[in-house]
Chains A and B, each alone.
Chain A
Amino acid sequence: MSNEMVVLQGKVFSVELQSMLGSTLYGWSLTGIPQGIALLGTETSRTTLGVAPVIQRFWFGAYSAVKDKASLEFTLVNVSDVSATEKKHTVSVKVIPSDSEEFAKLSENSDAMVSDVCNSMQPYGYPLGATNFVNMAYGYPYRRGEVVFKYGYPCATDDVNVKYGYPCGTNDVNLKYGYPCDDQVVAHKYGYPCGVQDVLLKYGFPCKTQDVNFKYGYPCGVQDVLLKYGFPGATEDVNFKYGYPCGAQDAALKYGFPCKSSDAAIMYGYKCDSSKSDC
């Protein structure tokens, strides 16, 4: 299986995979992540009441553009026996530069979007109701234009791109907190298996396994990578601050993007010729 995505640098994106994690203990794990993409979080949600597949959503942040396509690799793993893997799923990701978040959102057909500068959200394709308050534009009062059209954007995106699941009879599982589990094998609490002898989960992430310790969802205690707030830090050649390396000898970063480096000056996410004085 494979899939392709184009994502914008600086934006959050998600990959949704379907599994029967609760009833089979087989769930998708992220097993390969390229540089420039960070795993921001995961969530699991049910597709319907009762015994049914669950959606595992992996949230990523693309914090730097990559020249070529990169791959996210997911493996269907038995969480009680991580050596037991079923199949892999690869998502090819092209991260392209973007500064769209730097600008205020606006559409003359949806003046409500002006308020984006205050971080409000626009419903999916529908302009919000217009308000009558008066804005000051550089000292001059002006009134927002009224919302003029409702032009509903077709919503037919199928976010679920992998379907994997074994039919599972309700006789095989007990439900606790809405998630299927089998008491005899795995005790589920808040949707995450716990109490398994060889995999201890804390906050939903396995920890104290032999080669990777997890804490709050981030590996920690690994010999060659120390993590602080989810980002590796205190390594020899790169210090991380707010998720972006800074103060490194060969790459000073500004706004998360390397700049003024001698071999590749990048500004606002775009490469520019460092030999030019304006770069």
Chain B
Amino acid sequence: MTNVRYQPVTAVWEVTMGCNFRCGHCGSSCEGALPGQLTTEEALDLCDQIAELGLKWITLSGGEPLTRADTPQLVKRLSDNGVLVNIITNGWLLDEKMAKTLKENGISTVAISIDGTPEIHDKIRKKGAFEHARQAFAAMKALGIKTGAVTTITKQNLDILPAMKEELIGMGVETWQVQIGLPMGNLKQRPDWLLEPRQVRDIIDFCYNTATEGRIGIYPADCIGYYSKKDLETRRISYKSNTYSLWNGCNAGVRGFGILHNGDILGCTSIRSKEFIEGNIRERKLRDIWEDENAFLWRRQMKKEKLSGSCKKCVYGSKCLGGCPNTRLTMKGSIYEENEYCAYNVSLKEMETKYSSCDSASALRKLADSLIPQGDFQEASFALRRAQELEPDNADAYRAMGYSEFMCGNYEASLAANEKALKINGRDTYSMGGKALALFRLGQKEEGLRIMQEAVALSGGQDPNLLQDLRYMTSNMSAPANK
């Protein structure tokens, strides 16, 4: 069976694992080229398949992609096929001649990894690396090639981001992608380099300030977020959009994929253990792998309910699905764990503790009453949870909790709260309606409908809210199943 629901638009291709650097934070611990690397012929055929599959752009990385002699050929084939080609390099081999070759072969953007000011960059990467990068940028600028920088943020460089920005602007770099250094590869051996979760806020602040300055385009990678207004504004500015858009979850296996040096196809090149490899282009065509209904299931079937910790009860959970899965995998050992580098996750952790100092149930209920109309459902749920601890038999708190948890998308919690309210007052039609909706959302549609009908009958058919919900439920049940 094939699955044609998903249309990929981009991919990251690690054309080689060979690298001329030994970076302290390299996520792939790259050294020499690994056996099994695709031959030029295989790689060129893959270029054709990539175009045939309909990708709009692709990023060639590694290892160091320019250590592979035929990389310019791959750029040409892809570009001739109408695919925009970006490349991420350390810049060491990117002299004037190479820049000219890439330009002639149709390169779109060349990004160089820059991880610090000259001293810090060379310390992390290789002595003389920054100067090579500077010359590479100059060569590309002279040829009119679009340039970018990519920075992996650790404690080694978090504090010098402003100085780095000035360096990049001084070199005429147009765009700057920043990403969080995760505990994988070489960085796993350097836990003291890893950021504290709350430092992600500093990154977002920095990106926001940089974006609003408008001197260089800054692009926080998908591992940075999520849903803070500063983050949204940063991305709005960077993508030159007039509207805000909320991140729709990881692209892996949905809108993009990864290709390893040996032709393995996976959702993301960072999530590369065996169970995440969906196939190999030496065995099957790229399209067959992509459209395999059993491929990329870890992503395509990801649901908020599968997550744990704070992500499981997060109001954004069904939207972001935990954010970057590689962050969860590397930080907590599983893609189903919570995302500790999420700025909102940090806030949730703080919410968990701050309400414990409140000792007035009525005041907390009142606070929740003021928060709910403002759309602060998550905060209201925390306040109500504390109110329930202080006053376990208050039906109003359960009724409000049933609503706020429902609006957070936490249907189990909504169901539990409504059932407690009904235990106190079995004829509470509001809680009956809430219970019905929670059950409906949990997939128990028949039972939900039955309870909603009961609530409507009990209210004498006079409650317009119940009637509307009943109408929705009945029409939804007769409609074709949605996802």
Residues of A within 8 A of B (CB): 4-8, 13, 94, 96-110, 113-114, 116-118, 121-125, 135-140, 142, 148-154, 156-157, 267-268, 270, 278
Contact = CB atoms under 8 A, between A and B. Distances in A.
Nearest to B230: A102
Interface of B: 9, 155, 196, 198-199, 201, 227-230, 232, 235, 239, 241, 243-248, 255, 315-316, 318-319, 344, 347, 350, 354-355, 357-358, 360, 362-364, 366-367, 369-379, 383, 396, 399-400, 403, 406-409, 430, 433-434, 437, 465, 468-469, 472, 476
Most buried by A among B9, B247, B355, B360: B360
Contacts of B247: 137-138
A109 B360 contact: no
Contacts of A113: 375
Nearest to A157: B369
B246 A103 contact: no
A6 B366 contact: yes
Given A121-B374, A151-B469, A154-B399, 7 more contacts: A5-B363, A100-B376, A102-B228, A107-B375, A107-B377, A117-B244, A154-B430
Contacts of B403: 125, 151, 153-154
A96 B354 contact: yes
A6 B358 contact: yes
A13 B469 contact: no
B315 A107 contact: yes
A149 B471 CA distance: 10
Main secondary structure of the interface of B (DSSP, over half): helix
Contact of B363 (A94, A122, A268): A94
Nearest first, the 6 closest Cβ-Cβ pairs linking A and B are: A105-B375, A152-B465, A137-B245, A4-B363, A124-B373, A117-B244
16 contacts: A6-B358, A96-B354, A101-B229, A102-B230, A104-B228, A105-B375, A106-B316, A107-B408, A110-B375, A125-B373, A137-B247, A139-B239, A148-B472, A151-B406, A151-B469, A157-B366
A229 B362 CA distance: 35
Contacts of B228: 102-104
Contacts of B347: 99-100, 102-103
A112 to B, nearest CB: 10
A152 to B, nearest CB: 4
A98 B347 CA distance: 8
B229 A109 contact: no
A122 B372 CA distance: 9
A142 B9 CA distance: 14
B367 A103 contact: no
Contacts of A8: 367, 371, 379
B451 to A, nearest CB: 14
Nearest to A268: B201
Given A5-B367, A7-B367, A103-B347, A94 B376 contact: no
B465 A117 contact: no
A59 B240 CA distance: 38
B138 to A, nearest CB: 30
Contacts of A142: 245, 248
Contacts of A99: 347, 350
B245 A135 contact: yes
A176 to B, nearest CB: 34
A152 B468 CA distance: 10
B387 to A, nearest CB: 9
B73 to A, nearest CB: 28
A278 B371 CA distance: 32
B407 A109 contact: yes
A138 B10 CA distance: 13
A135 B243 contact: yes
A109 B370 contact: no
A122 to B, nearest CB: 5
Contacts of B434: 151
B400 A153 contact: yes
Contacts of A114: 244, 246
Given A13-B370, A136-B243, A108 B379 contact: no
Contacts of B468: 150
A107 B407 contact: yes
A184 to B, nearest CB: 42
